[in-house]
């Protein structure tokens, strides 16, 4: 029986398309890089069609902001923290002269982390809009690298610690947010039919690591607050490539985000994992552009 990594062994099957130089990290050569631009442009088009304004955010996220999201309580082991050496000249000089075998001593000389690499693309949006009262509903889109440690290990090529997300975040009342998610799901369905890529929808839950948090999984399923779009690879096997989420007040409340004329302001988001779309596409159609559907060839040629 094949293990998960062998089941999607695209690196060996398509040596001029993608590469992996360490577990949890992959890169793409020029031809498959065209697919990265293609998918991001298509998802940006969906975002624009629902009224999104494109914004651009940094990678680093303040630990204080991450704490407000509840992510540290829910999935602390996914987090990758950033730190620097304490500002002490004599100590820094001593570190510079250490040999590689002694580099573990650096840990004792690091400052307490003030930042983390963001584990979710939408968190920066809540950080940006915190303590604000908006005049009306708001839809924002961004393309962001996100970072997660994988507690299940790196047995599958699609399990990445550094990957790209095209995100759409929307603020409004519950009816507006639910309708916006529904519209984006419909537009995604239309895109998949044009693409000819097999897929399925599933009601999903977030990853809760501790037993006391597991009750939220039942709540999410009952509320249908999270849908996953799963793309088919190798027969019946699928992998999650996008999520469509309703947050209720989980983020608007701790970040104090309101809309003037609404009694209750809630949020939702959609995230498309770009690398996984490329992996699923190559699995189905191969890495040679001549074998891609005409729809993709025509659109991707716009990048040349």
For 158, the domain range is 4-62+119-303
Sheet with strand 115-117: strands edge to edge: 60-62, 115-117, 80-82
Segment (H or E) for 28: strand 25-28
Total domains present in the chain: 1
* Any domain includes 155: yes
Record the tokens describing residue 301, joined without a space.
Answer: 């040629």
Give the pLDDT of residue 24.
Answer: 82
Judge whether 84 lies within some domain: no
- Beta-strand pair 80-82/115-117: antiparallel
Q: Which two tokens stand for residue 25?
A: 């990290």
CATH number at residue 200: 3.30.930.10
Compute the half-sphere exposure of residue 201: CA atoms within 13 Å on the CB side of its CA: 11
Average confidence (pLDDT) over 202-229: 65
Q: Is the pLDDT of residue 210 over 50?
A: no
Q: What is the pLDDT of residue 6?
A: 39
| Number of CB atoms found within 10 A of residue 168's CB | 27
**What value does the mean pLDDT of the chain take?**
84
Residues 202, 146: Cα–Cα separation, whole Å: 23
Q: Choose the weakest-confidence range: 57-71, 149-163, 220-234, 247-261.
A: 149-163
- Residue 111 belongs to some domain of the structure: no
The mean pLDDT of 66-95, rounded to a whole number, is: 79
**Does residue 181 form part of some domain?**
yes
Q: Does residue 68 lie in a domain region?
A: no
Query: Given this model, what pLDDT does residue 63 score?
Result: 95
| Inside any domain, residue 219 | yes
Strand partners, 143: 166
Rounded distance, CA 282 to CA 295, Å?
15
What percentage of the chain exceeds 90 in pLDDT? 54
Answer with the residue of higher pLDDT: 207 or 170. Answer: 170
What average pLDDT does this structure show over 198-207?
83
Task: Flag whether 126 is in a domain.
Answer: yes
pLDDT band per the 50, 70, 90 thresholds, residue 207:
low
Rg over alpha carbons for the chain, rounded to the nearest Å, is 21
Q: Would you call 92 helix, strand, or coil by DSSP?
A: helix
The pTM of this model reads 0.87
Whether 100 is in a domain gets the answer no
């Amino acid at each position: 029986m094949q293990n998960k990594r062998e089941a999607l062994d695209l690196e060996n099957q398509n040596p001029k398309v993608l590469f992996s130089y360490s577990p949890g990290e992959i890169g793409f050569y020029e031809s498959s890089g065209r697919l990265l631009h293609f998918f991001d442009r298509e998802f940006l088009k969906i975002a624009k069609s629902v009224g999104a304004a494109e914004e651009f955010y940094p990678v680093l996220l303040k630990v204080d902001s991450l704490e407000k999201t509840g992510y540290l309580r829910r999935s602390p082991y996914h987090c990758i923290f950033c730190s620097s050496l304490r500002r002490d000249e004599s100590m820094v000089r001593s570190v510079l002269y250490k040999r590689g075998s002694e580099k573990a001593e650096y840990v004792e000389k690091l400052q307490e982390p003030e930042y983390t690499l963001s584990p979710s693309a939408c968190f920066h949006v809540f950080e940006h809009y915190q303590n604000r009262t908006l005049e009306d509903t708001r839809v924002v889109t961004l393309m962001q690298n996100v970072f997660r440690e994988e507690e299940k290990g790196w047995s599958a090529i699609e399990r990445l610690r550094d990957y790209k997300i095209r995100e759409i975040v929307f603020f409004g009342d519950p009816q507006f947010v639910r309708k916006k998610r529904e519209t984006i799901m419909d537009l995604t369905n239309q895109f998949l039919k044009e693409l000819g890529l097999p897929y399925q929808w599933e009601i999903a839950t977030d990853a809760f690591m501790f037993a006391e948090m597991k009750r939220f999984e039942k709540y999410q399923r009952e509320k249908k607050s999270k849908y996953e779009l799963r793309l088919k690879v190798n027969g019946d096997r699928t992998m999650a490539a996008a999520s469509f989420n309703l947050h209720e007040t989980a983020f608007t409340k701790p970040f104090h985000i309101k809309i003037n004329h609404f009694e209750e302001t809630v949020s939702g988001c959609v995230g498309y994992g770009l690398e996984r779309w490329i992996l699923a596409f190559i699995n189905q159609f191969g890495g040679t552009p001549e074998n891609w559907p005409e729809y993709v060839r025509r659109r991707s040629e716009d990048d040349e």
